[in-house]
Chain A
Amino acid sequence: MHERVTANEIAMTDTDPVICFKDVSKIFGRVDGRGDLIAVDKLSFSIAKGEIVAVLGKTGCGKSTMFNIVAGLTEPTSGSATVVGHNPFREFEFFRGKIGIVFQNDRLMPWRSALDNVRLGLQILDADSKESEATARRWLERLGLRGHENDYPHALSGGMRQRVSIARAFAVNPDILLCDEPFSALDEMTARDLRAEFVRLVRQNNKTAIFITHQINEAMEIGDRVMVFHRPARIAYETHLNVSMSADERSNVRDEIMRVLSHEQPKPDAN
């Protein structure tokens, strides 16, 4: 499982956080010139190896923006965001094969079949062609897409496309998984199976995961820790969960999350 361990990782101890945000802010300029929009506001948190953190928050509160910062797709305006001690935006090659991302929308390449979409990451990592095909097939099968390997994305349903994109992220076997509402396009039954599968995978391989969702139940089912964001992204509430919690305790946590989510002050946009 650890064939890609590098010197940098060995140097890190298990107690060092895998993902670390210190006063991270992200400000977007508006095209219409109505000043700036603060999407993330002095956000600080750290996530340890093997943790699954579920992130909840109302729509537009900056979850995806935080996610893009961890993924190294956007650079924070201020503050420092590090992943395994490195800068995900600046150190491009260092993170090759280390972070797997399931985006909010499926983002499949329309010119590739389902199978070839899943293979993309493996091809970028120079995996052996036969092996990568076998891996991709296995993942499609695991996600219930057997028989659709050669279909183009336009011929798949929304939920099927989303599952292909999940397979694509998992196929590279990354140490860190970032998922932005990965199961939102699926029916409840399939979602439940995949949630269990997801947790099993992350646990088994001691991966670290951030999981964004809109469903409180899903967050509590998956997360070791639940963070609730208020807009602009800052932590309004945070709690650790564990299997030994009683049903009562869980229900208290759920009520508290509900309260925090609904008690967000309707804050007018900056300016």
Chain B
Amino acid sequence: MKNTRIVRFLQAAVSMLLLAAAWQILSYVFPPFLFPPVPAIITRTIDILITGSLLADVLLTAWRIFAGLFSAFIFGSILALLIGQSKTMENFVTPVLTFFQGIPALSWVVFAIIWFNGIEFRVLFIMVMTTLPAFTYQILDAFRSMSKDLFEMTMSFRPSRAKLFRYLIVPTIVPGILTAWKVNLGNAARVVVVAELVGATGGVGYQLLRQQQLFDMAGAMAWTLQLVLFVLVVQQTINAIENWALRYRPVSERTM
């Protein structure tokens, strides 16, 4: 178990090193304002992390991602449970969700700017609208995959709705919820920088815009890496939660 983990880590490290090496080679060929050398990017990245005022921008964006995802998760769960229990609700809600899914993030940005004033509210609105459909569908899927046998077994004890929810529905949808968080996290990290173009005076999106104005490629890379790092750290955290929460799952000794 331990060994496979180390091997997996090494494989990931090697693949990242190869990517960095390729970039470094490009930096010898092209001028530095197009492909700055890797060490310069790393220095800038670390700079951001150790400079309080810059780190605040990263944390602000992280907070916006989290707030958006959490709100979408709450609304999505409620919608999914409503849809899952009533065909009428399904017929009413799914067309709207599908409609929303087709709207580009940039359109939500425009709508948010026209409709609302507060910057934080605009960002939150955009985050929720862009991640809500996927969240809802994923949780709904998990809910629908509930085993009929386990449902009937639980119902044979005649539980109250609250107990049915707690003892059967929640454990059934937990794996789906964790997957939904992982999938939507990547989406949200991409959308948030667009959302921050609504006139935010802080955050990674704002900083990226500045690097573009300064024509500073190393800075643009460094700020991008902040988001990538953030996603990686949160993904790993969710993975750890998943391993703990789903430890009951049997693992076959056979591999595919």
A contacts, CB < 8 Å to B = 68, 71-73, 92-93, 95-97, 99, 101, 103, 105, 107, 109-112, 120-121, 123-125, 152-155, 172
Question: Which A residues are in CB contact (< 8 Å) with B157?
Answer: 96-97, 120-121, 124-125, 172
Q: How large is the interface on B (under 10, 10 to 19, 20 to 34, 35 or more residues)?
A: 10 to 19
Given contacts A107-B149, A111-B171, A123-B163, contact A152 B158 (CB under 8 A): no
Q: Given the known A-B contacts A109-B150, A110-B249, are A73 and B171 also in contact in the complex, defined by CB atoms under 8 Å?
A: no
- Report if A123-B167 is in contact (Cβ < 8 Å); known contacts: A101-B156, A105-B149: yes
Query: Which residues of chain A are near B253, meaning CB under 8 Å?
Result: none
Contacts of A101 in B (CB 8 A): 153, 156
Query: Is the Cβ of A109 less than 8 Å from the Cβ of B171?
Result: yes
Measured between beta carbons, the chain A residues less than 8 angstroms from B153 are 101, 103, 107
Q: Find the A residue at minimum CB distance from B147.
A: A107
Residue of B nearest to A104 (CB): B149
- Given known A103-B149, A110-B249, contact A92–B158 (CB-CB < 8 A): yes
The contact string, 1 if C-beta is below 8 Å from chain A, for chain B 187-223, is: 0000000000000000000000000000000000000
| Shortest distance between the CB of B193 and any CB in chain A (Å) | 38
Question: How far apart are B148's CB and chain A's nearest CB, in angstroms?
Answer: 10
Which of these, B150, B158, B167, B250, contacts A107 with CB under 8 Å? Answer: B150
Is the Cβ of A152 less than 8 Å from the Cβ of B156?
A: no
The answer to whether the Cβ of B232 comes within 8 Å of any Cβ in the partner chain is: no
B159 sits at the interface (CB 8 A): yes
How far does the alpha carbon of A124 sit from the alpha carbon of B165 in the complex, in Å? 11
CA of A93 to CA of B155, assembled, Å: 10
Query: In the complex, A95 Cα to B156 Cα: how many Å?
Result: 9
Closest 10 pairs (CB-CB, A-B): A154-B250, A96-B158, A107-B153, A124-B157, A124-B159, A152-B248, A101-B156, A121-B157, A111-B248, A111-B171
Task: Name B154's closest neighbour in chain A (CB-CB).
Answer: A120
Chain B residues within an 8 Å CB radius of A125:
157
Q: Would you give the shortest CB distance from B219 to chain A, in whole angstroms?
A: 47
Tell me the complex Cα distance, A97–B154, Å: 12
CB of A8, distance to nearest CB on chain B (Å): 15
Chain B residues with CB under 8 Å of A121's CB are 157
Pair A73/B156 contact, Cβ less than 8 Å: yes
A96, A124, A125: residue with the most chain B Cβ atoms closer than 10 Å: A124
State the CA gap A95–B158 with chains docked (Å).
7
Contact between chains at A154 and B248 (CB < 8 Å): yes
Q: How far is the CA of A96 from the CA of B157 in the complex (A)?
A: 6
What is the bound-complex CA distance between A112 and B153, given in angstroms? 14
Q: 14 other contacts beyond A71-B156, A97-B157, A121-B157, with CB at 8 A cut-off?
A: A73-B152, A92-B158, A99-B156, A111-B171, A120-B157, A123-B163, A123-B167, A124-B154, A124-B160, A125-B157, A152-B248, A152-B250, A154-B248, A154-B249
In the complex, what's the smallest C-beta–C-beta distance from A192 to chain B, in angstroms? 26
Q: Is the CB of B248 within 8 A of A124?
A: no
Least CB distance, A50 to chain B, in whole angstroms: 22
B163 nearest CB neighbor, chain A only: A124
Q: How far is the CB of A129 from chain B (nearest CB, A)?
A: 14
A17 to chain B, nearest CB (A): 21
What residue of chain A has the Cβ atom nearest to residue B164's Cβ?
Answer: A124
In the complex, 6 of the A-B residue pairs with CB atoms within 8 angstroms, ordered by the A residue number, are A95-B158, A103-B152, A107-B150, A109-B167, A112-B248, A124-B157
What's the Cα separation between A97 and B156 when bound, in Å? 9
A103: which B residues are within 8 A, CB to CB? Answer: 149, 152-153
Bound-complex Cα distance A112 to B249 (A): 11
Docked complex: B148-187 residues within 8 A CB-CB of A: 149-150, 152-160, 163, 167-168, 171
Alpha-carbon separation in the docked complex, A120 to B168 (Å): 10
Cβ contacts B122-160/A at 8 Å (1 or 0 each): 000000000000000000000000000110111111111
Give chain B nearest CB distance to A78 CB in angstroms: 22
A107 to B159, CA, bound (A): 16
CB contacts (< 8 Å) of B158 on chain A: these are 92-93, 95-97, 124
Nearest Cβ on chain B to A173's Cβ, whole angstroms:
12
User: Taking the nearest CB of chain A, how far is it from the CB of B82, in angstroms?
Assistant: 21
B149–A124 touching, CB < 8 Å: no
Alpha-carbon gap, A111 to B247, bound state (A):
8
